[in-house]
A and B are shown apart, each in its own frame.
Chain A
């Protein structure tokens, strides 16, 4: 349990009546209630006996408003007469709101909360969770991610990725204000030695990145060839060096790794989640994964740091059925990413409560947003039957302004569990208050062609104008051109607010 807790997520203490009820009856009432719970397809859980019988006050025959079912004697009362029922029957204090499956104390005349009750309700709800059709289809596709090979020279994949990184404002600020300290960099003996390297001594990649930044932003109009940077990078990533063609996403990840490696020894940090190197300060976020046991309702929550979000493409449903064009949106992909997914019976996870492997439901959400959000669209499909992979050429619509609030852990958990208390137990400070949840796109990497051979192009958005960066050629374009292309990676920057 965390030492400091955000007050809005603290479990309220039970009222004396609830505490007494629990002492006398324990969990019997909750378990016998489970049999009568019914979950609608929308996810609302209610008491499901014959509705015309239930929704009628025993005292006044009122049929409108809220009804409370006494946990002891199953008498139904309206909100006006609940207190009367408790008054005339001592011990009959605790009731359940019939339409919402929430606890009510008739004596306090207010809603009360009990984590064990919520767990009992949730277990019933999980069993009824509709099996997402996509998850069964996607499972066939989710084999080894295949990478895109790229165009003419090795550079295009790097070039596209690098163009995006060059225009990531926080990275640009960091390197241009010489935070890396080239002068003092222990590996930075480049001033005296350019290409000749003592064997075994790797050039400092961060110095070269800084070099690229200063050349690019120097204002000089001559074309710039980042040969030094490329050489440096090949030295570090020998597995990716050579004339082999590269995948932009791999490049991005490897760049961040290298920058992190260079800076990390100088900074004290406890791990990638808390790392203060520039790469992680800019791109690192935290993902939350909740795995709920379908049998006992016990949920285990884990937090993992991440530098980007890899999204499956939303399977297309054309908006009009006669329209054959496939339209999927970024929001749709994010919905898919954060949807609760029933794990298949071949993926049973160990439940600490039951102490065996059980069927479970997993849900992802974003606990902490990074300063710069990088989305990676998984455009490959691997067919196990035919043992081939192919690229999915579907247009993905993305907004220029994006609000990530609905995908944060606080929103996702609240939507799934409603007022259920237990979901937030042990949760530390509300991390969403640190950052704004609104983002603006500033760079997009697109890919055209096939899996084995294709071409990357980067589009940059500067001061509301889009520029197309195609290897050595930079042209101004309209936003229509950007929207019509097939995005592979998207970079969003947090809007300044707080």
Chain B
């Protein structure tokens, strides 16, 4: 049998190039390291509870679990069902507030 002479070179397993971190990743890491991400998460949680978003999500999950039967539902199922509805129903004021906080963090962290 003839071996193909145009065979691509065997990739060296050890030579995985370190991917350049994207801007998003850099920001994420800076947010976490300064502790700002945790503060933002807490703020977000508070706002979403205040406006009733969490109760809505709870009701959706409950209805879904009731429909499918308690023992036929997994965490993954619920996450997949609830995530699109949740993302769509976050109030604009909450989005605006958090965006503002992130912006001011970025200017102060001089990225």
| A binding-site residues for B, Cβ under 8 Å | 40, 42, 51-52, 55, 63, 66, 79, 104, 108-111
Q: Tell me the residues in window 1-45 of chain B with beta carbons closer than 8 Å to chain A beta carbons.
A: 25, 28-29, 32-33, 37-38, 42
Answer whether A52 and B33 are a contact pair too, CB < 8 Å, given A110-B74, A111-B75: yes
Q: How far is the CA of A111 from the CA of B79 in the complex (A)?
A: 12
Q: How far is the CA of A342 from the CA of B93 in the complex (A)?
A: 38
| B76 interface residue (CB < 8 Å to A) | yes
What's the minimum C-beta distance from A35 to chain B, rounded to whole angstroms? 20
- State whether A52 touches B32 (Cβ < 8 A): yes
Residues of A within 8 A of B38 (CB): 40
Residues of A within 8 A of B74 (CB): 108-111
- State whether A110 touches B28 (Cβ < 8 A): no
What's the minimum C-beta distance from A405 to chain B, rounded to whole angstroms? 12
What's the minimum C-beta distance from A5 to chain B, rounded to whole angstroms? 15
- State whether A110 touches B75 (Cβ < 8 A): yes
Residues of B within 8 A of A42 (CB): 42
Q: How far is the CA of A104 from the CA of B28 in the complex (A)?
A: 26
Extra A-B contacts (19), CB below 8 Å, given A63-B25, A109-B74, A109-B76: A40-B38, A40-B42, A42-B42, A51-B32, A51-B37, A52-B29, A52-B32, A52-B33, A55-B32, A63-B28, A79-B76, A79-B79, A104-B75, A108-B74, A109-B75, A110-B74, A110-B75, A110-B76, A111-B75
What's the minimum C-beta distance from B95 to chain A, rounded to whole angstroms? 17
Q: How far is the CA of A42 from the CA of B44 in the complex (A)?
A: 13
Q: How far is the CA of A66 from the CA of B76 in the complex (A)?
A: 10
Q: How far is the CA of A128 from the CA of B41 in the complex (A)?
A: 20
Residues of B within 8 A of A51 (CB): 32, 37
What's the minimum C-beta distance from B56 to chain A, rounded to whole angstroms? 18
Residues of A within 8 A of B29 (CB): 52
Residues of A within 8 A of B76 (CB): 79, 109-110
Q: How far is the CA of A51 from the CA of B33 in the complex (A)?
A: 8
Residues of A within 8 A of B32 (CB): 51-52, 55
| CB pairs A–B below 8 angstroms (22 shown) | A40-B38, A40-B42, A42-B42, A51-B32, A51-B37, A52-B32, A52-B33, A63-B25, A63-B28, A66-B79, A79-B76, A79-B79, A104-B75, A108-B74, A109-B74, A109-B75, A109-B76, A110-B74, A110-B75, A110-B76, A111-B74, A111-B75
What's the minimum C-beta distance from A457 to chain B, rounded to whole angstroms? 38
Q: How far is the CA of A66 from the CA of B74 in the complex (A)?
A: 14
Residues of A within 8 A of B79 (CB): 66, 79
Residues of A within 8 A of B25 (CB): 63
Residues of B within 8 A of A108 (CB): 74
* Beta-carbon nearest neighbor of A108 in chain B: B74
**Centre residue among B29, B75, B79 by max chain A CB count within 10 A:** B75
Q: How far is the CA of A110 from the CA of B28 in the complex (A)?
A: 28
What's the minimum C-beta distance from B1 to chain A, rounded to whole angstroms? 34
Q: How far is the CA of A213 from the CA of B107 in the complex (A)?
A: 73
Residues of B within 8 A of A55 (CB): 32
What's the minimum C-beta distance from B9 to chain A, rounded to whole angstroms? 25
Q: How far is the CA of A108 from the CA of B32 in the complex (A)?
A: 31
Residues of B within 8 A of A109 (CB): 74-76
What's the minimum C-beta distance from A476 to chain B, rounded to whole angstroms? 38
Q: How far is the CA of A51 from the CA of B28 in the complex (A)?
A: 11
What's the minimum C-beta distance from B77 to chain A, rounded to whole angstroms? 9
Residues of A within 8 A of B75 (CB): 104, 109-111
Q: Tell me the residues in window 76-99 of chain B with beta carbons closer than 8 Å to chain A beta carbons.
A: 76, 79
Residues of B within 8 A of A52 (CB): 29, 32-33
